Chains A and B, each alone.
Chain A
Amino acid sequence: MEIRFYEKDKLLVFKISEEIDDYSVQKMRRSADYEIERYMPKKVIFDFDSVTFMDSAGIGFIIGRYKFANMLGAKLEVTNLTPSVQKIFDMSGILKLIPVTDLQESALR
Chain B
Amino acid sequence: MKEHIDNEMNLEFISKSSNESFARITIAAFAAQLDPTIEELADIKTAVSEAVTNCIIHAYENRIGIVKMSAKLKENEVIIEISDHGKGIENIEMAKEPLYTTKPNLERSGMGFTIMESFMDNVEIESVVGLGTKITMSKKIKKEDEEEKNVEEMDLLQKIN
Which residues of A come within 8 Å of B, CB atoms? 19, 21-23, 25-26, 29, 53-57, 59-61, 63-64, 83-84, 88, 91-92
Contacts and interface: CB of A to CB of B under 8 A. Distances in A.
B70 interface: no
B107 A56 contact: no
Interface of B, secondary structure class, is: helix
A56 B112 contact: yes
B115 A56 contact: yes
Nearest to B45: A53
Interface in B12-53: 17-18, 20-21, 24, 39, 42, 45-46, 49-50, 53
Contacts of B106: 60
B109 interface: yes
27 contacts: A21-B17, A21-B49, A22-B20, A23-B17, A25-B107, A26-B17, A29-B107, A53-B46, A53-B49, A54-B46, A55-B46, A55-B53, A55-B112, A56-B108, A59-B109, A60-B107, A60-B108, A60-B109, A63-B109, A64-B107, A88-B46, A91-B98, A91-B114, A91-B118, A92-B98, A92-B109, A92-B111
Sorted nearest first, the 9 A-B pairs with minimum C-beta distance are A60-B107, A23-B17, A59-B109, A64-B107, A55-B49, A56-B111, A60-B109, A22-B53, A21-B20
B56 interface: yes
Contacts of B114: 91
Contact of A23 (B18, B98, B107): B18
Contacts of B109: 56, 59-60, 63, 92
Contacts of A55: 46, 49-50, 53, 112, 115
A23 B42 contact: no
Contacts of B108: 56, 60
Interface in B61-113: 98-99, 106-109, 111-112
B128 interface: no
A85 B18 CA distance: 21
Contacts of A53: 24, 42, 45-46, 49
Contacts of B57: 22
A57 B53 contact: yes
A68 B17 CA distance: 24
